[in-house]
Structure 1
Amino acid sequence: MCLILLSWQQQPEHPLIVAANRDEFYSRPTLPANYWPEHPQILAGRDLEFGGSWLGISRNGRFAAVTNLREVESKGERSRGDLVKNFLLTDTNTAKHLDQLEAAKANYRPFNFIAFDGKTLGYSNNAEPGWQSLPQGSHAIGNFPLSAANEKTRKGKRDLEATLHHRGDHVALLSMLQNKESTGEHKEPLYRGLSSRFVSLAGAEYGTRSSSILYRHRDGNWDFWEQLYNTSAADPAFLDPQSLNHFNVRANQP
Protein backbone atom coordinates (compact mmCIF):
# COMPACT_ATOMS: atom_id res chain seq x y z
CA MET A 1 0.00 0.00 0.00
CA CYS A 2 1.81 3.11 -1.21
CA LEU A 3 1.75 6.33 0.78
CA ILE A 4 2.36 9.93 -0.34
CA LEU A 5 2.64 12.63 2.34
CA LEU A 6 2.57 16.30 1.31
CA SER A 7 3.30 19.56 3.10
CA TRP A 8 1.88 22.32 0.93
CA GLN A 9 2.50 26.06 1.46
CA GLN A 10 3.39 25.61 5.13
CA GLN A 11 7.07 26.61 4.99
CA PRO A 12 8.10 29.82 3.19
CA GLU A 13 11.47 28.39 2.13
CA HIS A 14 9.99 25.04 1.03
CA PRO A 15 6.45 25.51 -0.33
CA LEU A 16 6.15 21.82 -1.25
CA ILE A 17 7.67 18.90 0.66
CA VAL A 18 6.95 15.30 -0.33
CA ALA A 19 7.66 12.11 1.61
CA ALA A 20 6.53 8.91 -0.12
CA ASN A 21 6.88 5.13 0.04
CA ARG A 22 6.48 2.94 -3.02
CA ASP A 23 5.14 -0.55 -2.31
CA GLU A 24 5.33 -3.07 -5.13
CA PHE A 25 6.01 -6.69 -5.98
CA TYR A 26 9.73 -7.38 -5.70
CA SER A 27 9.74 -9.13 -9.06
CA ARG A 28 8.44 -6.12 -10.99
CA PRO A 29 11.34 -4.71 -13.05
CA THR A 30 12.20 -1.16 -12.04
CA LEU A 31 14.85 1.48 -12.61
CA PRO A 32 15.72 3.86 -9.75
CA ALA A 33 15.22 7.60 -10.08
CA ASN A 34 17.39 9.21 -12.72
CA TYR A 35 17.15 11.38 -15.82
CA TRP A 36 15.51 9.53 -18.69
CA PRO A 37 17.81 9.23 -21.72
CA GLU A 38 15.04 9.87 -24.27
CA HIS A 39 13.40 12.57 -22.10
CA PRO A 40 16.27 14.27 -20.19
CA GLN A 41 13.90 16.81 -18.68
CA ILE A 42 12.34 14.03 -16.56
CA LEU A 43 13.89 12.88 -13.28
CA ALA A 44 11.90 9.88 -12.05
CA GLY A 45 11.96 6.21 -11.25
CA ARG A 46 10.81 3.96 -14.05
CA ASP A 47 8.53 0.96 -14.27
CA LEU A 48 10.06 -1.31 -16.91
CA GLU A 49 6.86 -3.31 -17.35
CA PHE A 50 4.86 -0.46 -18.87
CA GLY A 51 7.37 2.39 -19.17
CA GLY A 52 5.76 4.92 -16.85
CA SER A 53 6.60 6.10 -13.34
CA TRP A 54 5.11 6.35 -9.86
CA LEU A 55 6.78 9.64 -8.88
CA GLY A 56 9.00 12.23 -10.51
CA ILE A 57 9.84 15.83 -11.32
CA SER A 58 10.85 17.75 -14.43
CA ARG A 59 13.41 20.44 -15.07
CA ASN A 60 10.62 22.96 -15.72
CA GLY A 61 9.39 22.66 -12.14
CA ARG A 62 6.67 20.04 -12.40
CA PHE A 63 5.96 17.20 -9.97
CA ALA A 64 3.64 14.21 -10.33
CA ALA A 65 2.92 11.04 -8.38
CA VAL A 66 0.43 8.20 -8.49
CA THR A 67 -0.85 5.37 -6.31
CA ASN A 68 -3.23 2.55 -7.09
CA LEU A 69 -6.74 2.37 -5.66
CA ARG A 70 -7.69 -0.75 -3.75
CA GLU A 71 -11.21 -2.16 -3.85
CA VAL A 72 -12.12 -0.07 -6.91
CA GLU A 73 -13.36 -1.74 -10.06
CA SER A 74 -12.22 -0.39 -13.39
CA LYS A 75 -12.26 -1.70 -16.94
CA GLY A 76 -9.42 0.58 -17.95
CA GLU A 77 -6.21 -1.05 -19.15
CA ARG A 78 -3.87 1.94 -19.50
CA SER A 79 -1.05 2.03 -16.99
CA ARG A 80 -1.46 4.68 -14.29
CA GLY A 81 2.28 5.28 -14.58
CA ASP A 82 1.52 7.02 -17.88
CA LEU A 83 -0.26 9.73 -15.90
CA VAL A 84 3.01 10.75 -14.26
CA LYS A 85 5.04 10.52 -17.46
CA ASN A 86 2.54 12.45 -19.57
CA PHE A 87 2.19 15.30 -17.08
CA LEU A 88 5.96 15.69 -16.72
CA LEU A 89 6.36 15.82 -20.49
CA THR A 90 3.84 18.60 -21.05
CA ASP A 91 3.78 22.29 -20.14
CA THR A 92 -0.02 22.43 -19.72
CA ASN A 93 -1.00 23.88 -16.35
CA THR A 94 -2.47 21.64 -13.67
CA ALA A 95 -6.05 22.84 -14.07
CA LYS A 96 -6.18 22.37 -17.84
CA HIS A 97 -4.39 19.02 -17.66
CA LEU A 98 -6.77 17.59 -15.07
CA ASP A 99 -9.77 19.00 -16.90
CA GLN A 100 -8.63 17.17 -20.03
CA LEU A 101 -8.01 13.99 -18.04
CA GLU A 102 -11.65 13.82 -16.93
CA ALA A 103 -12.83 12.36 -20.23
CA ALA A 104 -10.10 9.69 -20.21
CA LYS A 105 -10.22 8.56 -16.56
CA ALA A 106 -12.04 5.33 -17.30
CA ASN A 107 -9.25 4.24 -19.65
CA TYR A 108 -6.79 3.83 -16.77
CA ARG A 109 -6.35 1.28 -14.05
CA PRO A 110 -7.62 2.59 -10.67
CA PHE A 111 -5.54 5.58 -9.57
CA ASN A 112 -4.91 8.47 -7.22
CA PHE A 113 -2.99 11.18 -9.08
CA ILE A 114 -1.10 14.24 -7.83
CA ALA A 115 0.01 16.96 -10.27
CA PHE A 116 1.95 20.17 -9.54
CA ASP A 117 2.85 22.76 -12.19
CA GLY A 118 4.83 25.09 -9.93
CA LYS A 119 1.74 26.94 -8.73
CA THR A 120 -1.25 24.60 -8.32
CA LEU A 121 -1.18 21.25 -6.52
CA GLY A 122 -4.02 19.19 -7.96
CA TYR A 123 -5.53 15.82 -7.04
CA SER A 124 -7.67 13.45 -9.10
CA ASN A 125 -8.80 9.83 -9.03
CA ASN A 126 -10.95 7.66 -11.25
CA ALA A 127 -13.34 6.51 -8.53
CA GLU A 128 -14.98 9.94 -8.27
CA PRO A 129 -15.84 12.66 -10.79
CA GLY A 130 -13.92 15.90 -10.95
CA TRP A 131 -10.63 16.98 -9.41
CA GLN A 132 -9.58 19.38 -6.68
CA SER A 133 -6.89 21.94 -6.02
CA LEU A 134 -5.41 20.96 -2.67
CA PRO A 135 -5.57 23.70 -0.02
CA GLN A 136 -2.66 24.83 2.11
CA GLY A 137 -1.81 22.22 4.74
CA SER A 138 -0.74 18.60 5.12
CA HIS A 139 -2.20 15.84 2.96
CA ALA A 140 -1.86 12.05 2.92
CA ILE A 141 -2.72 9.88 -0.08
CA GLY A 142 -2.77 6.11 0.27
CA ASN A 143 -4.63 3.48 -1.73
CA PHE A 144 -8.11 4.81 -1.17
CA PRO A 145 -9.65 8.07 -2.42
CA LEU A 146 -8.46 11.14 -0.53
CA SER A 147 -12.03 11.53 0.76
CA ALA A 148 -11.79 8.13 2.48
CA ALA A 149 -9.12 8.72 5.11
CA ASN A 150 -8.06 5.77 7.25
CA GLU A 151 -5.78 5.39 10.26
CA LYS A 152 -2.70 4.86 8.10
CA THR A 153 -3.16 8.16 6.26
CA ARG A 154 -4.29 10.04 9.36
CA LYS A 155 -1.25 8.88 11.34
CA GLY A 156 1.01 9.56 8.38
CA LYS A 157 -0.19 13.15 8.22
CA ARG A 158 0.26 13.63 11.98
CA ASP A 159 3.77 12.17 11.89
CA LEU A 160 4.73 14.29 8.88
CA GLU A 161 3.68 17.44 10.72
CA ALA A 162 5.52 16.40 13.90
CA THR A 163 8.69 15.52 11.97
CA LEU A 164 8.73 18.82 10.09
CA HIS A 165 8.10 20.72 13.34
CA HIS A 166 10.90 19.07 15.33
CA ARG A 167 13.60 18.60 12.69
CA GLY A 168 12.35 18.30 9.18
CA ASP A 169 15.44 17.33 7.18
CA HIS A 170 15.50 14.43 4.74
CA VAL A 171 17.13 12.09 7.28
CA ALA A 172 14.29 12.60 9.75
CA LEU A 173 11.66 12.19 7.04
CA LEU A 174 13.25 8.96 5.81
CA SER A 175 13.27 7.61 9.35
CA MET A 176 9.59 8.51 9.65
CA LEU A 177 8.81 6.63 6.43
CA GLN A 178 10.58 3.50 7.73
CA ASN A 179 8.14 3.06 10.62
CA LYS A 180 6.89 -0.56 10.64
CA GLU A 181 4.20 -0.11 13.30
CA SER A 182 0.82 -1.41 12.16
CA THR A 183 -2.22 0.85 12.38
CA GLY A 184 -5.73 -0.25 13.25
CA GLU A 185 -6.81 -3.59 14.68
CA HIS A 186 -6.13 -6.17 11.98
CA LYS A 187 -6.21 -9.83 12.94
CA GLU A 188 -5.21 -11.06 9.49
CA PRO A 189 -1.38 -10.87 9.21
CA LEU A 190 -1.51 -9.70 5.59
CA TYR A 191 -3.72 -6.69 6.31
CA ARG A 192 -1.88 -5.93 9.54
CA GLY A 193 1.36 -5.79 7.55
CA LEU A 194 -0.17 -3.64 4.81
CA SER A 195 -1.41 -1.18 7.43
CA SER A 196 2.14 -0.24 8.40
CA ARG A 197 3.89 2.70 6.77
CA PHE A 198 6.87 0.56 5.77
CA VAL A 199 5.54 -2.75 4.46
CA SER A 200 7.75 -5.73 5.24
CA LEU A 201 5.95 -9.06 5.26
CA ALA A 202 7.91 -12.16 6.25
CA GLY A 203 8.21 -14.50 3.29
CA ALA A 204 6.10 -12.26 1.07
CA GLU A 205 6.83 -11.19 -2.49
CA TYR A 206 5.60 -7.63 -1.95
CA GLY A 207 6.69 -4.70 0.20
CA THR A 208 8.20 -1.21 0.34
CA ARG A 209 10.83 -0.95 -2.38
CA SER A 210 11.85 2.70 -2.09
CA SER A 211 11.27 5.94 -0.20
CA SER A 212 11.40 9.39 -1.81
CA ILE A 213 11.90 12.80 -0.23
CA LEU A 214 11.45 15.97 -2.29
CA TYR A 215 11.91 19.60 -1.29
CA ARG A 216 10.68 22.30 -3.63
CA HIS A 217 12.58 25.48 -2.75
CA ARG A 218 11.18 28.97 -2.93
CA ASP A 219 13.45 29.75 -5.90
CA GLY A 220 12.02 26.82 -7.87
CA ASN A 221 14.95 24.45 -7.37
CA TRP A 222 14.45 20.91 -6.08
CA ASP A 223 16.27 18.48 -3.81
CA PHE A 224 15.28 14.87 -4.44
CA TRP A 225 16.42 11.90 -2.36
CA GLU A 226 15.56 8.29 -3.12
CA GLN A 227 16.32 5.48 -0.69
CA LEU A 228 16.30 2.00 -2.21
CA TYR A 229 15.70 -1.17 -0.21
CA ASN A 230 16.94 -4.68 -0.69
CA THR A 231 14.16 -6.82 -2.11
CA SER A 232 15.60 -10.23 -1.36
CA ALA A 233 13.17 -12.70 0.15
CA ALA A 234 15.56 -13.24 3.05
CA ASP A 235 15.54 -9.62 4.20
CA PRO A 236 13.27 -7.34 2.17
CA ALA A 237 13.74 -4.43 4.59
CA PHE A 238 17.55 -4.38 4.48
CA LEU A 239 18.84 -0.82 4.26
CA ASP A 240 22.04 -0.21 2.31
CA PRO A 241 23.50 3.27 3.07
CA GLN A 242 25.05 3.33 -0.39
CA SER A 243 21.61 3.13 -1.99
CA LEU A 244 20.58 6.63 -0.93
CA ASN A 245 20.71 8.81 -4.05
CA HIS A 246 20.45 12.60 -4.13
CA PHE A 247 19.71 14.99 -6.99
CA ASN A 248 19.75 18.78 -6.92
CA VAL A 249 17.71 20.14 -9.81
CA ARG A 250 18.10 23.74 -10.87
CA ALA A 251 14.99 25.54 -12.05
CA ASN A 252 14.57 25.66 -15.83
CA GLN A 253 17.90 23.98 -16.41
CA PRO A 254 18.24 23.24 -20.14
Structure 2
Amino acid sequence: MCTLAIYFQATRKFPVVIAANRDEFLDRPAGDPTTLLESPHVVGGKDLKAGGTWLGISEYGIVAGLLNRRAGNGGNPQARSRGWLCLDALRRRTAAEAAEFAARERGSDYNPFNLLMVSRTEGFVAYNRGASIEVVALKPGLHLLTNLDVDDFECPKISASYDKFAELGNRADFQRDPIGQRAALAALLADHNTQLDPRIGAAAVGTAAGGRSNALCLHLDNYGTRSSSLIFMRGDRPEITHYFAPGPPCRTAYGLAIVPRAPSAAQGPK
Protein backbone atom coordinates (compact mmCIF):
# COMPACT_ATOMS: atom_id res chain seq x y z
CA MET A 1 0.00 0.00 0.00
CA CYS A 2 1.10 3.60 -0.52
CA THR A 3 1.71 6.03 2.31
CA LEU A 4 0.94 9.77 2.29
CA ALA A 5 1.62 12.18 5.13
CA ILE A 6 0.27 15.72 4.92
CA TYR A 7 0.89 18.68 7.18
CA PHE A 8 -2.21 20.74 6.38
CA GLN A 9 -2.08 24.35 7.58
CA ALA A 10 0.38 23.20 10.22
CA THR A 11 3.07 25.82 9.51
CA ARG A 12 2.72 29.54 8.94
CA LYS A 13 4.48 29.85 5.57
CA PHE A 14 3.68 26.42 4.10
CA PRO A 15 0.01 25.45 4.44
CA VAL A 16 0.59 22.23 2.48
CA VAL A 17 3.54 19.88 3.01
CA ILE A 18 3.22 16.36 1.60
CA ALA A 19 5.55 13.38 1.98
CA ALA A 20 4.44 10.34 -0.01
CA ASN A 21 5.69 6.94 -1.14
CA ARG A 22 4.14 5.10 -4.06
CA ASP A 23 4.09 1.31 -3.66
CA GLU A 24 3.29 -0.74 -6.74
CA PHE A 25 4.11 -3.92 -8.63
CA LEU A 26 7.60 -3.58 -10.02
CA ASP A 27 6.60 -4.56 -13.56
CA ARG A 28 3.80 -1.99 -13.87
CA PRO A 29 5.08 0.72 -16.26
CA ALA A 30 5.00 4.31 -15.04
CA GLY A 31 6.52 7.66 -15.97
CA ASP A 32 8.08 10.38 -13.84
CA PRO A 33 6.19 13.68 -13.31
CA THR A 34 5.28 15.24 -16.64
CA THR A 35 2.56 17.39 -18.18
CA LEU A 36 -0.69 15.40 -18.14
CA LEU A 37 -3.09 18.19 -19.16
CA GLU A 38 -2.47 21.51 -20.86
CA SER A 39 -5.63 23.34 -19.80
CA PRO A 40 -5.65 23.50 -16.90
CA HIS A 41 -1.96 22.71 -16.68
CA VAL A 42 -1.62 19.52 -14.63
CA VAL A 43 1.64 17.77 -13.82
CA GLY A 44 1.97 14.34 -12.27
CA GLY A 45 3.34 10.85 -12.50
CA LYS A 46 1.85 8.87 -15.36
CA ASP A 47 0.45 5.35 -15.15
CA LEU A 48 1.50 3.89 -18.49
CA LYS A 49 -0.71 0.82 -18.11
CA ALA A 50 -4.18 2.13 -17.22
CA GLY A 51 -3.67 5.88 -17.61
CA GLY A 52 -4.19 8.69 -15.17
CA THR A 53 -2.00 9.52 -12.20
CA TRP A 54 -1.45 8.58 -8.57
CA LEU A 55 -0.22 12.05 -7.54
CA GLY A 56 -0.68 15.29 -9.45
CA ILE A 57 -0.59 19.07 -9.07
CA SER A 58 -2.69 21.59 -11.00
CA GLU A 59 -2.04 25.19 -11.96
CA TYR A 60 -4.88 26.14 -9.59
CA GLY A 61 -2.80 25.02 -6.63
CA ILE A 62 -4.55 21.70 -6.03
CA VAL A 63 -2.78 18.47 -5.16
CA ALA A 64 -4.62 15.17 -5.63
CA GLY A 65 -3.25 11.85 -4.43
CA LEU A 66 -4.79 8.44 -5.08
CA LEU A 67 -4.25 5.49 -2.73
CA ASN A 68 -5.82 2.08 -3.27
CA ARG A 69 -7.93 0.57 -0.50
CA ARG A 70 -7.91 -3.13 0.21
CA ALA A 71 -10.49 -4.94 -1.96
CA GLY A 72 -11.88 -8.00 -0.23
CA ASN A 73 -12.77 -9.75 -3.49
CA GLY A 74 -9.51 -8.93 -5.25
CA GLY A 75 -11.03 -6.08 -7.22
CA ASN A 76 -12.82 -5.74 -10.55
CA PRO A 77 -10.38 -5.76 -13.49
CA GLN A 78 -13.06 -4.08 -15.67
CA ALA A 79 -13.52 -1.10 -13.35
CA ARG A 80 -12.58 2.39 -14.52
CA SER A 81 -9.01 3.33 -13.67
CA ARG A 82 -8.79 5.14 -10.34
CA GLY A 83 -5.92 7.13 -11.79
CA TRP A 84 -8.31 8.74 -14.26
CA LEU A 85 -10.50 9.85 -11.38
CA CYS A 86 -7.48 11.49 -9.76
CA LEU A 87 -6.74 13.30 -13.02
CA ASP A 88 -10.39 14.34 -13.41
CA ALA A 89 -10.35 15.86 -9.91
CA LEU A 90 -7.34 17.97 -10.92
CA ARG A 91 -9.38 19.63 -13.66
CA ARG A 92 -11.41 21.47 -10.99
CA ARG A 93 -10.61 25.03 -9.95
CA THR A 94 -10.83 24.45 -6.19
CA ALA A 95 -10.39 21.55 -3.79
CA ALA A 96 -14.06 21.91 -2.79
CA GLU A 97 -15.14 21.55 -6.44
CA ALA A 98 -12.91 18.48 -6.76
CA ALA A 99 -14.48 16.98 -3.64
CA GLU A 100 -18.00 17.69 -4.92
CA PHE A 101 -17.11 16.04 -8.22
CA ALA A 102 -15.71 12.94 -6.49
CA ALA A 103 -18.78 12.65 -4.25
CA ARG A 104 -21.05 12.53 -7.32
CA GLU A 105 -19.18 9.60 -8.89
CA ARG A 106 -20.55 6.07 -8.51
CA GLY A 107 -18.44 4.00 -6.17
CA SER A 108 -19.31 0.83 -8.06
CA ASP A 109 -17.56 2.17 -11.17
CA TYR A 110 -14.18 1.93 -9.40
CA ASN A 111 -12.27 -0.40 -7.19
CA PRO A 112 -11.93 0.87 -3.59
CA PHE A 113 -9.74 3.95 -3.11
CA ASN A 114 -8.82 6.94 -0.97
CA LEU A 115 -8.48 10.24 -2.85
CA LEU A 116 -6.82 13.27 -1.27
CA MET A 117 -7.75 16.70 -2.71
CA VAL A 118 -6.07 19.66 -1.07
CA SER A 119 -5.26 23.33 -1.67
CA ARG A 120 -3.81 26.04 0.54
CA THR A 121 -7.20 26.67 2.13
CA GLU A 122 -9.18 23.41 1.86
CA GLY A 123 -8.50 19.72 2.24
CA PHE A 124 -10.68 16.66 1.64
CA VAL A 125 -10.41 12.89 1.41
CA ALA A 126 -12.88 10.81 -0.60
CA TYR A 127 -13.36 7.20 0.52
CA ASN A 128 -14.71 4.62 -1.88
CA ARG A 129 -15.47 1.48 0.07
CA GLY A 130 -17.33 -0.04 -2.85
CA ALA A 131 -20.97 1.03 -2.89
CA SER A 132 -20.76 4.79 -2.44
CA ILE A 133 -18.21 7.55 -2.05
CA GLU A 134 -17.93 9.47 1.21
CA VAL A 135 -16.04 12.77 1.44
CA VAL A 136 -14.58 14.07 4.70
CA ALA A 137 -12.91 17.43 5.34
CA LEU A 138 -9.40 17.65 6.76
CA LYS A 139 -8.82 19.69 9.89
CA PRO A 140 -5.55 21.63 10.22
CA GLY A 141 -2.69 19.48 11.43
CA LEU A 142 -0.84 16.30 10.53
CA HIS A 143 -2.70 13.49 8.77
CA LEU A 144 -1.56 10.10 7.48
CA LEU A 145 -3.33 8.15 4.76
CA THR A 146 -2.78 4.58 3.56
CA ASN A 147 -5.37 1.95 2.53
CA LEU A 148 -7.72 2.64 5.47
CA ASP A 149 -9.41 5.86 6.59
CA VAL A 150 -7.25 8.88 7.31
CA ASP A 151 -5.40 8.62 10.66
CA ASP A 152 -6.74 5.09 11.27
CA PHE A 153 -4.30 3.59 13.77
CA GLU A 154 -5.44 0.08 12.90
CA CYS A 155 -3.05 0.49 9.97
CA PRO A 156 0.41 -0.62 11.13
CA LYS A 157 2.12 1.97 8.92
CA ILE A 158 0.18 4.77 10.60
CA SER A 159 0.56 3.43 14.15
CA ALA A 160 4.32 2.98 13.68
CA SER A 161 5.07 6.32 12.01
CA TYR A 162 2.52 8.92 13.11
CA ASP A 163 4.44 9.99 16.20
CA LYS A 164 7.64 10.30 14.16
CA PHE A 165 6.00 12.62 11.64
CA ALA A 166 4.36 14.55 14.47
CA GLU A 167 7.65 14.99 16.32
CA LEU A 168 9.30 16.35 13.19
CA GLY A 169 6.39 18.68 12.50
CA ASN A 170 6.58 20.16 15.98
CA ARG A 171 10.27 21.03 15.73
CA ALA A 172 11.07 24.75 15.53
CA ASP A 173 13.28 24.29 12.48
CA PHE A 174 10.48 22.49 10.63
CA GLN A 175 7.96 25.15 11.57
CA ARG A 176 10.35 27.82 10.35
CA ASP A 177 11.43 26.14 7.10
CA PRO A 178 9.85 22.79 6.13
CA ILE A 179 11.83 22.63 2.87
CA GLY A 180 15.03 22.81 4.89
CA GLN A 181 13.92 19.65 6.68
CA ARG A 182 13.29 17.62 3.54
CA ALA A 183 16.17 15.28 4.40
CA ALA A 184 14.44 14.45 7.67
CA LEU A 185 11.15 13.81 5.83
CA ALA A 186 12.96 11.60 3.33
CA ALA A 187 14.53 9.63 6.18
CA LEU A 188 11.06 8.90 7.60
CA LEU A 189 9.86 7.71 4.20
CA ALA A 190 12.92 5.43 3.96
CA ASP A 191 12.01 3.56 7.16
CA HIS A 192 12.23 -0.25 6.81
CA ASN A 193 10.74 -1.17 10.18
CA THR A 194 7.78 -3.54 9.86
CA GLN A 195 4.81 -4.21 12.10
CA LEU A 196 2.31 -7.03 11.89
CA ASP A 197 -0.95 -6.12 10.18
CA PRO A 198 -3.77 -7.52 12.36
CA ARG A 199 -6.02 -7.80 9.29
CA ILE A 200 -3.62 -10.32 7.71
CA GLY A 201 -2.45 -12.51 10.57
CA ALA A 202 0.96 -13.83 11.47
CA ALA A 203 0.69 -17.02 9.43
CA ALA A 204 0.04 -15.12 6.22
CA VAL A 205 2.81 -12.54 6.42
CA GLY A 206 5.40 -13.03 3.71
CA THR A 207 3.43 -15.62 1.76
CA ALA A 208 2.16 -15.18 -1.77
CA ALA A 209 -1.43 -15.02 -0.54
CA GLY A 210 -0.77 -13.16 2.64
CA GLY A 211 -0.28 -9.59 1.54
CA ARG A 212 2.56 -7.20 2.15
CA SER A 213 5.24 -6.20 4.55
CA ASN A 214 4.27 -2.99 6.33
CA ALA A 215 7.42 -0.90 6.21
CA LEU A 216 7.06 2.60 4.79
CA CYS A 217 9.81 1.74 2.30
CA LEU A 218 9.03 -1.68 0.82
CA HIS A 219 11.33 -4.16 -0.89
CA LEU A 220 9.61 -7.38 -1.92
CA ASP A 221 10.20 -9.76 -4.81
CA ASN A 222 7.67 -8.27 -7.23
CA TYR A 223 6.26 -5.32 -5.30
CA GLY A 224 7.67 -2.35 -3.47
CA THR A 225 8.22 1.37 -3.20
CA ARG A 226 8.57 2.66 -6.75
CA SER A 227 8.93 6.41 -6.15
CA SER A 228 8.71 9.09 -3.50
CA SER A 229 7.58 12.74 -3.44
CA LEU A 230 8.07 15.74 -1.17
CA ILE A 231 5.73 18.62 -2.05
CA PHE A 232 5.85 22.08 -0.47
CA MET A 233 3.19 24.71 -1.17
CA ARG A 234 3.84 28.25 0.04
CA GLY A 235 1.03 30.36 1.40
CA ASP A 236 2.40 33.84 0.76
CA ARG A 237 2.88 33.40 -2.98
CA PRO A 238 1.80 30.92 -5.71
CA GLU A 239 4.88 28.76 -5.39
CA ILE A 240 4.97 24.96 -5.31
CA THR A 241 8.15 22.90 -5.01
CA HIS A 242 8.22 19.17 -5.74
CA TYR A 243 11.19 16.94 -4.97
CA PHE A 244 10.84 13.55 -6.64
CA ALA A 245 12.79 10.31 -6.19
CA PRO A 246 12.26 7.86 -9.09
CA GLY A 247 12.91 4.89 -6.83
CA PRO A 248 12.79 3.87 -3.17
CA PRO A 249 13.91 6.78 -0.97
CA CYS A 250 16.37 4.62 0.96
CA ARG A 251 18.68 4.52 -2.06
CA THR A 252 17.39 7.09 -4.55
CA ALA A 253 18.22 10.80 -4.54
CA TYR A 254 15.45 13.38 -4.77
CA GLY A 255 15.61 15.96 -7.53
CA LEU A 256 13.47 18.92 -8.48
CA ALA A 257 10.47 17.85 -10.54
CA ILE A 258 8.41 19.81 -13.05
CA VAL A 259 5.51 21.77 -11.52
CA PRO A 260 2.55 23.49 -13.19
CA ARG A 261 2.84 27.00 -14.53
CA ALA A 262 1.01 29.67 -12.55
CA PRO A 263 -2.41 30.66 -13.90
CA SER A 264 -2.77 33.99 -15.65
CA ALA A 265 -4.54 36.88 -13.92
CA ALA A 266 -7.49 36.44 -16.28
CA GLN A 267 -8.12 32.98 -14.89
CA GLY A 268 -8.77 34.31 -11.41
CA PRO A 269 -7.41 33.27 -8.03
CA LYS A 270 -6.63 29.74 -6.98
| Interval of TM-score (by shorter of Structure 1 and Structure 2) | 0.7 to 0.9
The aligned residue for residue 220 of structure 1 is 238
Cα distance in 2 for partners of 1:111, 1:248 equals: 25
Aligned residues of 1:87 and 1:97 also touching (Cα < 8 A)? yes
Match status 1:152 vs 2:163: no
Alignment-mate amino acid for residue 57 of structure 2: I
Aligned residues of 1:14 and 1:217 also touching (Cα < 8 A)? yes
Aligned residues of 1:19 and 1:214 also touching (Cα < 8 A)? yes
The aligned residue for residue 99 of structure 2 is 98
The aligned residue for residue 211 of structure 1 is 228
Aligned residues of 1:221 and 1:250 also touching (Cα < 8 A)? no
How many residues in Structure 1 have an aligned counterpart in Structure 2?
A: 244
Cα distance in 1 for partners of 2:250, 2:165 equals: 23
**Helix, strand or coil: the match of 2:101?**
helix
Match status 1:121 vs 2:123: yes
Cα distance in 1 for partners of 2:226, 2:14 equals: 26
Cα distance in 2 for partners of 1:31, 1:68 equals: 19
Alignment-mate amino acid for residue 224 of structure 2: G
Match of 2:196 among 184, 187, 200: 184
Distance 1:147 1:211, change over 3 A: closer
Aligned residues of 1:140 and 1:154 also touching (Cα < 8 A)? no
1:115-139 alpha-carbon deviations (Å, 9 max, x no partner):
1244210111111653111001111
Displacement of 1:253? 6.2
5+ long unaligned stretches in structure 2:
175-180, 266-270
Alignment-mate amino acid for residue 194 of structure 1: S
Cα distance in 2 for partners of 1:247, 1:159 equals: 29
**Helix, strand or coil: the match of 2:90?**
helix
Moved more, 25-34 or 243-252: 243-252
Displacement of 1:5? 0.5
Distance 1:249 1:71, change over 3 A: closer
Cα distance in 2 for partners of 1:45, 1:70 equals: 22
The aligned residue for residue 178 of structure 2 is none
Displacement of 1:248? 6.0
Runs (4+) of structure 1 exceeding 6 A deviation are: none
Displacement of 1:183? 1.9
TM-score (norm 2): 0.80
Displacement of 1:238? 7.1
1:190-239 alpha-carbon deviations (Å, 9 max, x no partner):
569521110112xx111000110001111231110111227xxxxxx872
The aligned residue for residue 233 of structure 1 is none
Aligned residues of 1:15 and 1:217 also touching (Cα < 8 A)? yes
Aligned residues of 1:221 and 1:248 also touching (Cα < 8 A)? no
Match of 1:110 among 109, 112, 130: 112
Which structure features the higher share of strand residues? 1
Cα distance in 2 for partners of 1:215, 1:147 equals: 21
**Helix, strand or coil: the match of 1:239?**
coil
TM-score (norm 1): 0.85
Alignment-mate amino acid for residue 137 of structure 2: S
Match status 1:137 vs 2:141: yes
Alignment-mate amino acid for residue 206 of structure 2: P
Structure-to-structure mapping, 1:82-93, within 5 angstroms: 82-91=84-93, 93=94
**Helix, strand or coil: the match of 1:100?**
helix
Distance 1:35 1:129, change over 3 A: closer
Alignment-mate amino acid for residue 145 of structure 2: I
Cα distance in 1 for partners of 2:161, 2:84 equals: 26
The aligned residue for residue 49 of structure 2 is 49
Alignment-mate amino acid for residue 143 of structure 1: N
Match of 2:166 among 151, 161, 170: 161
Aligned residues of 1:223 and 1:249 also touching (Cα < 8 A)? no
Aligned residues of 1:62 and 1:116 also touching (Cα < 8 A)? yes
Displacement of 1:160? 1.4
Moved more, 96-105 or 113-122: 96-105
5+ long unaligned stretches in structure 1:
231-236
